[in-house]
Amino acid sequence: MRFFCARCCSFGSEMPAVQLLLLACLVWDVGARTAQLRKANDRSGRCQYTFIVASPNESSCPEQSQAMSVIHNLQKDSSTQRLDLEATKARLSSLESLLHHQLTLDRAAGPQETQEGLQRELGTLRRERDQLETQTRELETAYSNLLRDKSVLEEEKKRLRQENENLARRLESSSQEVARLRRGQCPQTRDTARDVPPGSREVSTWNLDTLAFQELKSELTEVPASQILKESPSGHLRSREGDNGCGELVWVGEPLTLRTAETITGKYGVWMRDPKPTYPYTRETTWRIDTVGTDVRQVFEYDLISQFMQGYPSKVHILPRPLESTGAVVYSGSLYFQGAESRTVIRYELNTETVKAEKEIPGAGYHGQFPYSWGGYTDIDLAVDESGLWVIYSTDEAKGAIVLSKLNPENLELEQTWETNIRKQSVANAFIICGTLYTVSSYSSADATVNFAYDTGTGISKTLTIPFKNRYKYSSMIDYNPLEKKLFAWDNLNMVTYDIKLSKM
């Protein structure tokens, strides 16, 4: 059988082959309008069928070379398509592998855990956002406080400059008076020869040219010891001989400024003297701690009051662990303070620079749980009175009310505890005199009051209205010194004292 494709088909005598090729030609040339089928013998006498269809598109049949080119192009296209198909299959296999891995992870984690993980991440992001917003507000508040403090400091600077000028004028006047007195002569002794009894001779009252001792004769008047009274530094009668001078607080004087902090780290702090000094310390030795900061360890020591007032420390202690709040005290040669971010009270012996005792106050709030109204992490406040060492704090069990405990100064064991009905966060500060707790109404009001008293002897509290002046309008520490019978306070960079009066018990 032969096949011609110039839009014609020729066949031999095999009818099935003829029919198939005829069908192929018809399908290939679908759209042709005319077709011819011829039957004739070829030169050898063999029967030959010729099927002719006119091409609708081509005017002539392509040459063999053109056909081969088309075949090559088709082979190239086929190879390209095969490569694309292989790449597509590879990508599909990779996607199927990833999908299978993800489905395996999802089956292992479960939809609930996946949702919980997303919720946790969402919660973490929200907390971070809230923290950033809180920090922003705190920074804005701190900035406004600094601006306010700056204006206050400028006003204080003007006031101090005026005071310095007044003091300079007074000093100059005093110097002139001293010079005048030095130039003056003592009154000459009048001639008293006529007053000398017969047989006696007159001698100089203070004859420093001789080596002989001269006796002075005096008259003594006997007075019962029980009638001797001592006067306190505040001007009132303190007590009879041997008494500790206890009584109820009835008056607080005007603040006397002794020292002003040099930098903002002294915005608030604590300063003190030992009411029961031990060698090598004296009643003049003063300690000071600036408590602004996160790692407060420095304790400045001044041997003399004059050194303290001039700002020249004789020694600087570095505590073995940082302290917190303005509640530290010095008693019997040791510094007692609250460890940072803890309810632990520490006894640090100043002379040997060693920690002698540590004690957790059971249930005491700390680091901002139950502070005084001004804040400053003043949850635990130590105090000293005529009877010894105390700690002022609060607990969850007391629901924020002030709790008092008497401490053993050696081992810090709690000896006795009282719970008051005074809410700790409603008062600005507190101190203890003669076993009675006193609280101050405000830390910022210029005209505050000592507003409550709680007597540990009777367990009874009462309201008071004793005027208390916050001269610099930010009192962060108020303590009582039973040796000097004064209140020590730290008021907005300034270290001040208050005279007090106690009524007789």
Return the beta strands (E) in 196-292 as ranges: 229-231, 237-240, 247-252, 256-260, 269-273, 286-290
Helix (H, G, I), strand (E, B) or coil at 280: coil
Q: Where are the alpha helices (DSSP H) in 299-437?
A: 305-310
**Nearest alpha-carbon partner for 303 in 261, 346, 274, 340:** 274
Which whole number is the average pLDDT over 71-75? Answer: 74
E runs forming strands in 54-110: none
What separation in angstroms does the CA of 125 have from each of 104, 130, 131, 135?
Answer: 28, 9, 10, 15
- Of the two residues 133 and 381, the one the predictor is more confident about is 381
**Which ranges constitute the DSSP H helices of 220-284?**
none
Which residue matches tokens 């300690």? 287
Prediction pTM value: 0.55
In whole angstroms, give the CA distance from residue 429 to residue 375: 10
Integer Cα distance of 236 and 222 in angstroms = 25
Q: What is the pLDDT of residue 132?
A: 86
**106-132 per-position pLDDT tens digit:** 676 666 766 777 888 888 888 888 888
Identify the residue with better confidence: 251 or 135. Answer: 251
Tell me, what amino acid is at 142?
A
pLDDT at 9: 43
Categorize the per-residue pLDDT at 155 as very low, low, confident or very high, splitting at 50, 70 and 90: confident
CA distance 452 to 372: 14
Q: Does residue 402 register a pLDDT over 80?
A: yes
Task: State the residue for tokens 């790449």.
Answer: 87
Helix (H, G, I), strand (E, B) or coil at 489: strand
pLDDT band for position 268 (50/70/90)? confident
Of the CA atoms within 13 Å of residue 406, those in its CB half-sphere come to: 12
DSSP string, 444-477: S-SEEEEEEEEETTTTEEEEEEEEEE-TTS-EEE
For residues 136-147, give the mean pLDDT.
Answer: 82
Of 302, 425, 446, residue with least CA distance to 365: 425
The pLDDT, as a whole number, for residue 111 is 66
Do 250 and 502 meet the contact criterion of CB atoms below 8 Å apart? yes
Query: Given this model, what pLDDT does residue 65 score?
Result: 64
52 close to 7: Cβ distance less than 8 angstroms = yes
Segment 438-473, tens digit of pLDDT: 999 999 999 999 999 999 999 999 999 999 999 999
pLDDT score, position 110: 65
What residues contact residue 72 under an 8 Å CB cut-off, 6+ apart?
none
pLDDT of residue 427: 94
Neighbour-count burial for 380-392, b at 16+ CB within 10 Å, e otherwise = bbbbbbbebbbbb
**pLDDT tens figures, 465-491:** 999 999 999 999 999 999 999 999 999
Distances (CA, A) of 209 to 32, 205, 206, 212, 497: 165, 12, 9, 9, 49
pLDDT digits (tens, 9 = 90+) for 219-266: 333 434 333 334 443 333 343 434 568 999 999 999 999 999 888 888
